[in-house]
Structure 1
């Protein structure tokens, strides 16, 4: 298991106040265009952090469960959400599907700036596929190594473009770029 996919790694990061790139209007607009959300659909936001995407999905009408390995991140997600917002669950997706999430029960499984930290990426995508209802989709937001610019000394988590293409084999893919990030909608063929 990656040393960057544990509560021991992430809790201090979130306790120090770090957060991820905010969900922007362009991202939501493109997601809505490609995903066509319908009220009452179910979404699982894996590696939800402080819940930015989960709250956006909820505002689009999804019934959302946010899953995160870090208790510190989930405290912030809960504090930033209403009681009627997403549900939050501490779970490491590398241990298997979250408890209570049945096969073929999700319309969306999202990994926004979290997938790159996981080991066994193909197996995780297979698990996500198994959680999708017919017509469901996986939403990935990934930093692309060839387009990333980091200050000196920062440890990159970006994936090479060729690796991202390889991970998408066996899926129908809609893709758009926003800066150094690839946004991918994956559907079963």
Structure 2
């Protein structure tokens, strides 16, 4: 297991006040266009950090569970949730689905700037697939190694385009990019069982 997959690595990062690229209006507009959220749908935000995306998904009507390995990040996520909203759960996704999350129970499984840090990416993506209800989707936001606009500090965690393409095999893909990030909506093809 990579050291960047542990609470020991991430707790000091969040304790120092660092955070990820903010969710912007353009990202939410494009997500809404492709995902067509409906009230009461369920979303699982894996590697939720301080809860930026989870709060946005909640504002779109999703019943959100945010999962994070870092207790420090979850403290901030809870503090920034002013109303009843997402549930925040401490869990290492590399050990399996979070407690209480069952197969075919989610409409969205998201990995916003978290997937690139995980080991066994293909297996984690297959686990995400197993959690989706019919018509559900996986939302990935990934830094792309070949992008000229990629900040130097993000190079060590960026994924090469070829690896992203391999991970997307077997999915129907909608994609847009915003700067140095790929935003991918993955759905099971209609013939996939």
**Structure-2-length-normalised TM-score:** 0.95
Kept in 1: contact 2:41–2:106 (CA 8 A):
yes
User: Which residues in structure 2 correspond to 1:131-170 (within 5 Å)?
Assistant: 131-147=131-147, 148-151=149-152, 156-170=156-170
How many residues in Structure 1 have an aligned counterpart in Structure 2? Answer: 188
Deviations along 1:85-115, one digit per CA (max 9) or x if unpaired, are: 1000000100000000011000000000000
Q: CA deviation at 1:150?
A: 2.8
Q: CA deviation at 1:178?
A: 0.3
Deviations along 1:51-101, one digit per CA (max 9) or x if unpaired, are: 000000000000000000000000000000034110000001000000000
RMSD: 1.1
Counterpart Cα distance in 2 of 1:154 and 1:23? 17
Aligned to 1:109: 109
**Structure-1-length-normalised TM-score:** 0.97
Instruction: Give every structure 1 segment of 4 or more consecutive aligned residues whose post-TM-superposition deviation is greater than 4 Å.
Output: none
**1:171 pairs with 2:175:** no
**1:73 pairs with 2:73:** yes
Q: CA deviation at 1:155?
A: 5.8
Note the residue ranges of structure 2 that are not aligned, 5 or more in a row.
Answer: none
Kept in 2: contact 1:150–1:156 (CA 8 A):
no
Kept in 2: contact 1:141–1:181 (CA 8 A):
yes
Deviations along 1:126-170, one digit per CA (max 9) or x if unpaired, are: 00000000000000000000015334x766200001100010000
Kept in 1: contact 2:144–2:150 (CA 8 A):
no
Provide the secondary structure at the position in 2 that maps to 1:156.
helix
**1:36 pairs with 2:36:** yes
Note the residue ranges of structure 1 that are not aligned, 5 or more in a row.
Answer: none
User: Which residues in structure 2 correspond to 1:42-53 (within 5 Å)?
Assistant: 42-53=42-53
Provide the secondary structure at the position in 1 that maps to 2:140.
strand
